[in-house]
């Protein structure tokens, strides 16, 4: 087992990895730059190394050099940054440093999205329909021809990304060029690669991913599925397991398909096999995410497995510690992404200082975060600042628990998406479990306010108005200036 691990990430995922390392008796080395000097992952790590700038997190050679200098035997990339970069994984292997994730030959197979889709289709599994080639900045005419053949609506997707940065929807030929430019710009900024391809859009759809774990000895298991169909701007905001859109028969078939696809690539370490499911219940393979995902806590809550621990053990050459028969998902779990972004201003990132933090608690409530009172949310990174996850024996109780936890969660100092999440958990379609990717594509209907809520709101506004207009210095009433009260208490001479 490793004695020291360099964590090539920051924020809440770095905190998550640090805690597992400490439980395993492994020295955790954190990286930080000026904006992150007071961050929680820096405070919790056993050792810390300051880097010149945020760009260092994308500099594979610099990270390997830092690992060698501090004596780290392995690097955990978390997600984002270099987590799926094939060149970085290869550099780690050449340098003799273990990469906590899939090996190069696996990452290379799944990283090329089009080749992965073609490989799965050739094996007889249903996949999304894609363009036969990728497109660069100068391939506008070829893009238009391919789009006409596939027919609209279409999704322009980054060859290096997934469903998120580098993805844009084009519903008509008039939207194609603008969508392509935006997708390429995002892909270049996030992944350093601006090649894109076209995918026939399935609208509306359910986004469902199956969590898998595999070791180097041929053992592979799944840990159930997660549904992430509530999206805003290509980013999932709520995820739950099990998926409410699947029947038991569909679920079993999906698990079997995911395991077979993972074996097709000889997959190792943690990853997810992702699918789109249409309104008829037919599912289509889209990609394999060769890393741990943001939403992994919901899987951990229902299976009681520590996915980061399993990642580390597999990377150290150990076999999986359980078989498929040992994986017994229980109950229901949900997760919300808490982002520092302004929901009233097109969800623009809102960096700044968090002045007050009140984290929710209670039975089966988990918060993965790096925020605390007085901490700073830097502008150079993803606006994700916390993940709130809850577990319950059934979906109804899980909904109520998450609703209560969201109401308990207080962050003061910079705008967050908490108000939107609180509103989602009152939406009837979500409560009934009949939602899809179309639910948050349009503004939610205005909620009718109850009299008690309006009364409390009026009282809060009145108190705020009084506090803002109260005088800041002590004054003495005029009736006390005459001195009558002193004379009335004076003893007779």
* Tokens coding 370: 């790096």
Neighbouring C-beta atoms of residue 66, cutoff 10 Å: 19
Which two three-digit tokens encode residue 297?
Answer: 């806590």
In a domain, 114, yes or no: no
CATH value at residue 150: 3.30.1490.20
Which residue, 52, 85, 100, sits at the end of a domain? 100
Same domain, 249 and 329: yes
- Strand partners of residue 367: 388
Per the domain annotation, does 410 fall within a domain?
Answer: yes
Residues 405 and 311 in one domain: yes
Closest alpha carbon to 430 in 297, 245, 251: 245
Task: Look at residue 105 and tell me if it is in a domain.
Answer: no
Query: Which pair of tokens denotes residue 247?
Result: 């029947």
Same domain, 159 and 247: no
> In total, how many domains does the chain have?
3
Q: Tell me the chain's radius of gyration from C-alpha atoms.
A: 26
Asked if 176 and 140 touch (Cβ cutoff 8 Å), the reply is: no
Residue 211 lies inside a defined structural domain of this protein: yes
**Statement to judge: residues 47 and 171 lie in one domain:** no
Separation in Å, CA 362 to CA 139, 200, 341, 365, 409? 55, 44, 27, 6, 12
Answer yes or no: do 62 and 172 share one domain. no
Considering only CA atoms, which of 234, 216, 239 is closest in space to residue 300?
A: 239
Cis, bond preceding 266 (omega within 30 deg of 0): no
Has residue 231 been placed in a domain?
yes
Phi-psi sector, 409: left (phi>0), alpha (psi -120 to 50), beta: beta
Name the DSSP letter for residue 319: P
- Predicted local confidence at residue 322, as pLDDT: 93
- Same structural domain, 281 and 212: yes
User: Looking at residue 19, which CATH number applies to its domain?
Assistant: 3.40.50.20
Cα–Cα distance between 154 and 148 in angstroms, integer?
A: 10
Regarding whether 179 and 62 lie in a shared domain, the answer is no
Which pLDDT value is given to residue 393?
98
Q: What DSSP character marks residue 450? A: P
Residues recognised as catalytic: 291
> Domain for residue 465, yes or no?
no
Q: Are 54 and 64 in contact (CB under 8 A)?
A: no
Residue 492 in tokens: 């007779």
- Angstrom CA distances, 2 to 92, 160, 317, 391, stand at 15, 30, 10, 32
Closest C-alpha among 392, 406, 125, 426 to residue 242? 392
Last residue of a domain, one of 406, 432, 458: 432
Closest CA to 292 of 76, 111, 98: 76
Does residue 187 share a domain with residue 217?
no
Q: CB neighbours (10 Å) of residue 345?
A: 9
State pTM to two decimals: 0.89
Last residue of a domain, one of 382, 416, 432: 432
**Same domain membership, residue 241 and residue 384:** yes
Q: What is the DSSP letter of 470?
A: S
Question: How confident is the chain (493 residues) per 10-residue block, as mean pLDDT?
Answer: 97 97 98 92 96 94 97 96 94 97 95 92 96 88 91 89 80 91 84 86 94 96 97 91 96 98 97 95 95 97 97 97 95 98 92 95 96 92 96 98 97 96 95 93 67 82 82 66 64 65
Residue 167's nearest CA partner among 144, 151, 184 is 184
Give the number of other Cβ atoms within 10 Å of residue 238's Cβ: 24
Kindly state the helix (H) or strand (E) to which residue 208 belongs, with its residue range.
strand 206-214
Residue tagged 């290509």 (tokens): 234
CB-facing half-sphere around the CA of 126: CA atoms within 13 A: 10
For residue 387, list its beta bridge partners: 337, 368
Contact between residue 65 and residue 75 where contact means Cβ atoms under 8 Å apart: no
The domain that contains 222 carries what CATH number? 3.30.470.20
Torsion angle, alpha carbons of 264, 269, 272, 273, to 10: 0
Task: Identify whether 478 is part of a domain.
Answer: no
Same domain membership, residue 81 and residue 44: yes
- Say if residue 212 is in the same domain as residue 241: yes
List beta partners, residue 207.
276
What gap in Å lies between CA 283 and CA 425, rounded to an integer?
A: 26
DSSP 381-449: S-SEEEEEEEEESSHHHHHHHHHHHHHH-EEESS--SHHHHHHHTT-HHHHHT---TTTTSSPPPPPPP
Domain containing 192 equals 129-200
Residue 460 domain-assigned?
A: no
On whether both 174 and 290 belong to a single domain, the answer is no
């Amino acid at each position: 087992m490793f004695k020291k691990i360099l964590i090539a990430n920051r924020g809440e995922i770095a905190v998550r990895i640090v805690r597992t390392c400490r439980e395993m008796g492994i020295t955790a080395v954190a990286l930080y730059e000026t904006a992150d000097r007071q961050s929680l992952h820096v405070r919790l790590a056993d050792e810390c190394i300051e880097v010149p700038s945020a760009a260092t997190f994308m500099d594979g050679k610099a990270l390997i050099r830092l690992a060698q200098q501090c004596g780290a035997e392995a690097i955990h990339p978390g997600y984002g940054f270099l987590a799926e970069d094939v060149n970085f994984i290869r550099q780690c292997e050449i340098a003799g440093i273990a990469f906590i994730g899939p090996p190069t030959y696996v990452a290379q197979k799944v990283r090329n999205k089009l080749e992965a889709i073609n490989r799965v289709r050739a094996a007889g599994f249903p996949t999304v329909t894609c363009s036969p080639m990728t497109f660069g900045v100068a391939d506008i005419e070829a893009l238009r021809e391919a789009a006409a053949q596939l027919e609209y609506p279409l999704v322009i997707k980054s060859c290096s990304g997934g469903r998120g940065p580098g993805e844009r929807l084009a519903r008509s030929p008039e939207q194609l060029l603008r969508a392509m430019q935006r997708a390429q710009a995002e892909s270049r900024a996030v992944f350093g690669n601006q090649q894109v391809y076209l995918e026939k859009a399935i609208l509306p759809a359910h986004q469902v991913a199956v969590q898998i774990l595999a070791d180097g000895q041929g053992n592979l298991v799944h840990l159930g599925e997660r549904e992430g169909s509530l999206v805003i701007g290509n980013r999932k905001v709520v995820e739950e397991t099990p998926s409410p859109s699947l029947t038991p028969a569909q679920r079993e078939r999906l698990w079997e398909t995911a395991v077979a696809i993972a074996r097709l690539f000889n997959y190792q370490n943690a990853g997810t096999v992702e699918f789109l499911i249409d309104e008829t219940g037919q599912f289509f393979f889209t990609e394999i995410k060769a890393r741990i995902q943001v939403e992994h806590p919901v899987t951990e809550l229902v299976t009681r497995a520590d996915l980061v621990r399993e990642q580390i053990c597999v990377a150290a050459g150990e076999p999986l510690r359980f078989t498929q028969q040992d994986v017994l998902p229980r109950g229901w779990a949900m997760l919300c992404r808490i982002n520092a972004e302004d929901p009233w201003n097109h969800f623009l990132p809102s960096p700044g200082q968090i002045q007050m933090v009140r984290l929710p608690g209670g039975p089966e409530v988990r918060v993965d975060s790096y925020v605390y009172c007085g901490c700073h949310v830097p502008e150079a990174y993803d606006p994700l600042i916390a993940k709130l996850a809850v577990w319950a024996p059934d979906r109804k109780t899980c909904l109520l628990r998450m609703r209560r936890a969201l109401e308990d969660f207080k962050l003061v100092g910079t705008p967050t998406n908490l108000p939107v999440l609180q509103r989602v958990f009152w939406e009837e379609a979500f409560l009934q479990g009949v939602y899809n990717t179309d639910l948050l594509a349009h503004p939610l209907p205005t909620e009718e306010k109850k009299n008690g809520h309006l009364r409390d709101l009026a009282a809060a506004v009145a108190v705020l108005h009084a506090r803002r207009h109260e005088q800041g210095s002590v004054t003495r009433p005029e009736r006390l200036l005459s001195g009558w009260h002193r004379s009335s208490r004076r003893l007779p001479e």
